[in-house]
Structure 1
Amino acid sequence: MAEIVGQRPGAADEESGGAELIGPERLIYFSDAVIAIAITLLALELPVPEEGVHGNSGVLHFLREHLAEYVAFLISFTVVAVHWLAHQRLFRYARGLVGGVIQGNLLWLLMIVLMPFTTKLLTSEADAFQVQFILYAADQALAGLFLLLTFRGLRRAGLLRATASSEVIDSTLTWMTAMVVTFCLSIPVALVTHWASLSWLALPVVRAALRLVARRGADVRA
């Protein structure tokens, strides 16, 4: 059995038959801090009018010229926020940690802290749309994949509380899976059109399809 880390003397967990466990508070707090830093870096990369921009019309013209960067910021902010919500929803049911879960969480955070860079790269003036887009979409897809694998490791190690809500967990995992699928599907689209980002609007459709597949699978098993 995988070794449980983060134990504290005298903190026995009833669900583990008296084994000493500690909740994954430090991992959650650390993840929250990293996400807060990533969001801050996203905001710091936003372009602001420079010394040569004058008057209301000049500022408005500057903002219109950099509209793509502001939209990219909103997309990345939304994705990071969804990741944070998913992490909170899933890890509040954790009652301990194993090494694989910590490693997976660190890989997930690596993708999160790369998002300010890939966001800036996506909107840079470099004439390499496919490379810029694919790196951005791959970053988003890998972040979701690592979070899914991290939670899978937590579940496989039997470290979920008995009070864990299967409805909340299934709904959250479906959202994350839909994000991974949507960003992955947008990568080949970018090879044929510069409007590949519009494929991200299919996220609700992908989520609905995944829920339908899961429901039919449950009916078949029943």
Structure 2
Amino acid sequence: MTRESITGTSEAADENPPVSPERLIFFSDAVVAIAITLLALELPVPTGEVHGNVGVHHFLREHLNEYMAFLVSFAAVAVHWMIHQRLFRYATGLSGGAIRWNLLWLLTIVITPFTTKLLTSEADAFQIQFSVYAANQALTGLLFLLAFADLRRSGMLRLPARPEVVSNTLSWVTAMIVTFLISIPVALVTHWASLCWALLPLVRAGLRLVRRGPTAAAAA
């Protein structure tokens, strides 16, 4: 093999190097930070028409739903971000599919402030308002799973020292998807459907039992 052919092969390989995951991770971090900031900017504050301690207390109590929705959305976005950080650290490169799924994931993160505001608006359409919010959260989890699955298919993941870290984290994502989806039909019959979200740990435990069932049966 001549020197020219070796050089030509090396140059051809350098033309399409693996895309560094760091740039996508940093970009995702910035977008998540912006989304959380927008959530805070939507919080209602007393105006000049509110006077005295009694007036401020009444105002805060009157807008308690908005403050609770902010805390729920903040927690949801924070969990999505932590899951992203925990698993994308094992990426050695990025495929085109993973990038596209990740961008769609960021889209659902960015519109979370809108769905939060819609959820607490004075429109008399609770079922639609709630369903849009819950569907957006479920879609966020699904898009992350698709992005991570594309990384796996492309062979751009290095195995962690403890492989169960990946499976445990993915089980949380799946549980979030299932929990938010379950709350949608519940919202059709009651305005307390948001209580379903508190069942997330139980849903995760149930999914783990279901997953262990076939494994235990095969081992037996």
Which residue in 2 is equivalent to 1:149? 146
Residue in structure 1 matched with residue 56 of structure 2 by the alignment = 59
Task: Map Cα deviations across residues 130-187 of structure 1 (whole Å, 9 max, x no partner).
Answer: 1100100010010011001110111111111133632111111011100000000111
Q: Alignment partner for residue 216 of structure 1, among 189, 213, 217?
A: 213
CA contact (8 A) 1:118 1:136 kept: yes
| Residue 38 (structure 2) aligns with | 41
* C-alpha distance in 2 between matches for 1:186 and 1:135: 11
Cα distance in structure 2, aligned partners of 1:79 and 1:200 = 10
In 2, the alpha carbon distance for the partners of 1:184 and 1:161 equals: 32
TM-score, normalization: structure 2? 0.90
Letter of the 2:129 partner, please give it.
Q
Richer in helix (by share)? 2
2:92 to 95, 103, 117: 95
Contact 2:95/2:151, CA 8 A, preserved across alignment: yes
The CA distance in 1 between the partners of 2:150 and 2:178, in whole Å, is 20
Distance in 2 (alpha carbons) for counterparts of 1:71 and 1:217? 40
Deviation per CA, 1:90-123: give whole Å up to 9, x if none.
1000001111000000111000001000000000
Q: Which runs of 5+ in 2 are unaligned?
A: 1-10
Q: How does 1:167-178 map to 2 (within 5 A)?
A: 167-178=164-175
**TM superposition shift of 1:20:** 4.6
What residue number does 1:75 align with? 72
After TM superposition, give the deviation of residue 202 of structure 1 in Å: 1.1
Match of 1:28 in 2: 25
What's 1:204 paired with?
A: 201
Measured against aligned partners, the alpha-carbon deviations of 1:41-98 in whole angstroms (never above 9, x if no partner) come to 0000000001111111111111000000000000000000000000001100000111
Residue 161 of structure 1: aligned partner? 158
After TM superposition, give the deviation of residue 219 of structure 1 in Å: 2.2
Counterpart for residue 15 of structure 1: none
Report matched runs for 1:7-18 at 5 Å.
Answer: none
Tell me how far apart the structure 2 counterparts of residues 217 and 158 of structure 1 sit (CA, whole Å).
27
- Counterpart amino acid of 1:35? V
Q: Distance in 2 between matches of 1:162 and 1:195?
A: 42
Aligned length: 207
Q: Which amino acid aligns with 2:60?
A: L
Q: Determine the structure 2 residue equivalent to 1:6.
A: none
Counterpart-to-counterpart distance in 2, 1:109 and 1:217: 35
Shift, 1:211, TM fit = 1.3
- Confirm or deny: 8 A CA contact 2:19 2:95 kept in the other structure: no
Moved over 4 A (4+): none
User: Any stretches of 5+ residues in structure 1 without a counterpart?
Assistant: 1-8, 13-18
Summarize the Cα distance change of 1:164–1:28 in structure 2 as closer, same or farther, 3 Å threshold.
Answer: farther
| Paired residues of 1:93 and 1:164 also in contact (CA < 8 A) | no
Structure 2 contact 179–199 (Cα < 8 Å) conserved: yes
* Aligned position for 1:3: none
Q: 1:113 aligns with which of 105, 110, 113?
A: 110
Aligned mates of 1:162, 1:112 — CA distance in 2: 27
